[in-house]
Structure 1
């Protein structure tokens, strides 16, 4: 009995769910009927508008052509009427002269005949009838204004509803990611002369493959693309992937979006670790300003540092953006840099791969340095003065100079001092290079073998700087590294 009741309850539940599905479907059908009526009315109004516009164009064209016929008729009528009037006057004059000549011929007086004949001769010489052109100045034909609308009539008969554009397909193998740009290429199943433009949408993501229902980043839209390719420039790659989709549009309607594709846009992303900075440095996420009144650390900041268990390296976005070979390490608790070590570190360590970032600094800073360091760098250590850090150093005291420093050895660099420096680190190859970020001119390269993970490091006194991350290694840097691998200076050469 209980089994039958349970079985009946399941049947009731199943029927209730099915009834609910049918009711929802009925609501959808009713909504579809309403939408159908509204959409049919809309397209009919659009059709009426298009035909009205076409009629207006035809009426305007007809009016213009009728005006031209009237103008041509008036011009020719004027020419022919003037010629007719001149001929009529000449004929009247000639008839009078003919009658006078006949009368003179019948005269019997010799003296009068001779004098009259001479006068008639002179009159005939000057008669308008002998100066007239007996060829019409204007033709009575209007054949040059005949029309033949056979072709246009056939075109009008060929008018039909504008088809929805086909769905494009993004050619993944032809898409390229380089130098913080993405070139996207797509094709149509077949040529469509009605296509007016394309709309490309993209958004950053930490997930490979099709877009997920809930994403942190919105779709960005690029409209009015006329070709079947587009290059996005000036992008900060702060996520691991970028998803793209595209649709075709004609003058009236847009087609469906293509299947989304995801392109890997991996780049080195970090922020400045305020917990590591000297107390005289005012640190934002990616910028630092010297503050001579820094003083002691606020109590709440100390508590925050002591209670911290996770570094910003452990955020989901940062984890997803890292190379599979990289794994964030827990931050070693220690005090801030102090004394004359006006230093701040990045919050993300490098233990594999090739990475690139840039730093813009105030060239009026009294002292500035940028490079990398081990996390074991002492709180009193200045960059480049121990074997735990490598840097390029700006000295702005008595004479401005730029030097490469490591293990308390320095080499003066004979080059113009840039306002922005690019830093390239190849962990496996043990290469650390510094570039003029504007023209990618190599300033100096350290060659070593890293014994432990390294981290971006910066120092400033009486000045400021800002860091730009999310940058891929520029192509020109990669190619330059290959050319200069055998000629770059090394640590041993510093004096």
Structure 2
């Protein structure tokens, strides 16, 4: 009995997966039918336009070529409609089997269960869903029906449909992802002197492998590429991967897209955890501004809306981003007193990460670094063993210091308006850079005993954070050069 139930469960799982696969394929077939209609109409309109301008010479050929296009369209529509009908019937049959299997599995009657399970198993074995070929019998492209009208007028009688450009191949081994740019390189399987340009499409995704039927992000198009490579610059990597495909075009027609290639885009992406922010800090997305009246206004609202229910605590009311590490500050208030602090919402527990922060140099005080999630609500950045930071003091005399565990080291360097923060969790390295010049400002060398999060402080000022950045090549090479030496003060580690 138990074995039969387990076997039936496996059958249910197999049927459900097959149903989903068929549904996706039906969507593809319907889209192919639409594309055949649209592409056939387009090439026919283009062909008729060319014939109209050259009707004196081409009038005899026009009818035969239009007929050929219509025959090709009718043949493909016939094949696709038959295949669509077969798939639809198979899906209906499979859904009936799945419903029957689920009902049998949930039935409390045990007398006829064994026979019912055997009947269902036999039916599944003969189910048409498993005999279907989920490959379209006809292509939706009508590009091969285009004709080349660029030849001499006296050669028009020899016109043939223009050969479709061959499909390029993306060379994954030569593609590069670094410094928030992606260079895509491709080649043609055989030389083609008639290629005029290429069209590259790219799409962000969180899935490795080929594109799926339903993707969250649309294809972005880059046209008019003359070389067999292209570099996308100024990217912000807020997804794990990017998918690329490319096609070649001559003067009249475009070829088929290459097989999509998915490239990994490693970068650190996080948001600011507004539920951790001091009441005097106004957090909007990745920007923070000091608000001297924020604490008073929020205290008034708190008094007005105060209840005894723990459901009204800031930790519960904060809306967390999906796939973010939940805050461990459960049951605790946000930072308070003179700890004008806000934390990032994503923990760092491995690897190398990099982000940048632009701050107002007129701020009375500003700090950026990392902290443990257990940082106390009264703790100021750099004044406890749970935080490391670079601190700007602009109160009486402007200074830039590295702080940790209530110890500070003054840095003798120009104060930038944008700081890059590099964290190598595994090696216990936290480095700060001038984000524009990539000049190293200071390095902490320690051993992180717990995961850390980005941490920021501002008093009478503002700042904004830039995430989705890769570790710059200059930073990586500088870290390798400095691996044998330390720019940190031992008292600060």
- TM class by shorter chain equals 0.5 to 0.7
Q: What secondary structure, in the 3-state scheme, does the structure 2 residue paired with 1:46 have?
A: helix
CA 1:47 to 1:463, structure 2 compared with 1: closer, same or farther past 3 Å?
Answer: same
Q: What does 1:204-353 align with in structure 2 at a 5 Å threshold?
A: 204-296=204-296, 297=298, 298-299=301-302, 303=312, 305-308=314-317, 311-312=320-321, 315-316=322-323, 328=325, 330-333=327-330, 334-353=332-351
Query: Which residue pairs with 1:195 in the alignment?
Result: 195
Aligned to 1:184: 184
Contact 2:273 2:344 in 1 (8 A): yes
Instruction: Flag structure 1 segments of 5+ consecutive residues without an equivalent.
Output: 1-24, 55-150, 319-327
Instruction: Kindly state the Cα deviation for residue 166 of structure 1 after the two structures are TM-superposed.
Output: 1.3
Instruction: Report the CA distance shift for 1:376/1:253 in structure 2 as closer, same or farther (over 3 A).
Output: same
Alignment counterpart, residue 398 of structure 2, candidates 389, 397, 400: 400
| 1:471 match: secondary structure | coil
State the secondary structure of the residue aligned to 2:262. strand
- In the TM superposition, what is the alpha-carbon distance from 1:41 to its structure 2 partner? 5.5
The aligned counterpart of 1:70 is none
| Cα deviation, residue 210, structure 1 | 0.8
Offset at 1:167?
A: 1.2
**Structure 2 Cα separation of the partners of residues 278 and 220 of structure 1:** 40
Offset of 1:292 from its aligned partner? 0.4
Partner of 2:90: none
Q: Which residue of 2 aligns with 1:360?
A: 358
**Residue aligning to 1:46:** 50
Compute the displacement of 1:348 (Å): 0.5
Whether the aligned pair in 1 keeps the contact of 2:357 and 2:418 (CA below 8 Å) is yes
For 1:142, the equivalent position in structure 2 comes to none
1:455 aligns with 2:453: yes
Change (3 A) 1:452 1:396: same
Distance of aligned partners of 1:450 and 1:41 in 2 relative to their CA distance in 1, 3 Å threshold: closer
Shift, 1:481, TM fit: 0.5
The aligned runs of 1:54-203 (5 Å cut-off) are 160-203=160-203
- Please give the per-residue CA displacement for 1:455-487, whole angstroms capped at 9, x wherever unaligned: 100000000000000000011101100111222
Aligned counterparts of 1:441 and 1:268: Cα–Cα separation in 2: 21
Between the aligned partners of 1:52 and 1:397, the Cα distance in structure 2 is 86
Q: Deviations over 1:4-58 (max 9, x none)?
A: xxxxxxxxxxxxxxxxxxxxx9xx999979986874464143244368899xxxx
Paired position in structure 2 for 1:429: 427
Answer with 1 or 2: which has the greater Rg.
1
| In structure 2, distance between residues paired with 1:228 and 1:53 | 38
In 2, distance between residues paired with 1:194 and 1:214?
Answer: 35
* Cα distance, 1:256 vs structure 2: 1.1
Relative to structure 1, is the Cα distance of residues 52 and 194 closer, same or farther in structure 2, using a 3 angstrom cutoff? farther
- Which residue is 1:371 aligned to? 369
Where does structure 2 lack aligned partners over 5 or more consecutive residues?
1-28, 59-150
Q: How far is the alpha carbon of 1:191 from its aligned partner?
A: 1.1
SS of the residue corresponding to residue 394 of structure 1 reads: strand
Q: Conserved in 2, the CA contact under 8 Å of 1:430 and 1:449?
A: yes
Distance 2:338 2:454 in 1: 19
Normalised by the length of structure 1, the TM-score is: 0.68
CA distance in 2, matches of 1:280, 1:251: 62
Deviation of 1:168 (Å): 1.1
Mapped to 2, the partners of 1:227 and 1:338 lie a distance apart of 57
TM-score, length basis structure 2? 0.68
Question: 1:448 touches 1:491 (CA, 8 Å); kept in 2?
Answer: no
Structure 1 residue 343: Cα displacement: 0.4
CA contact (8 A) 1:238 1:470 kept: yes
For the 8 Å contact 1:178–1:475, the answer to whether it is kept is yes
State the Cα distance separating 1:179 from its structure 2 match.
Answer: 0.8
Q: Give the direction of change, closer, same or farther, for the CA distance of 1:166–1:489 in structure 2 (3 Å limit).
A: same
How much does 1:163 deviate?
1.5
**C-alpha distance in 1, partners of 2:333/2:35?**
66
CA contact (8 A) 1:311 1:331 kept: no
Report if the CA contact (8 A) 2:275-2:318 is conserved: no
- The alpha carbon displacement at 1:310 in A equals 7.5
Q: 1:155 to 1:183 in 2, by over 3 A?
A: farther
Report the Cα offset of residue 165 of structure 1: 1.2
SS in structure 2 of the partner of residue 478 of structure 1: helix
CA contact (8 A) 1:310 1:330 kept: no
Task: Tell me the number of residue pairs that the alignment of Structure 1 and Structure 2 aligns.
Answer: 361
Q: 3-state SS of the aligned residue for 1:332? A: coil
1:267 offset after TM fit, Å?
0.7
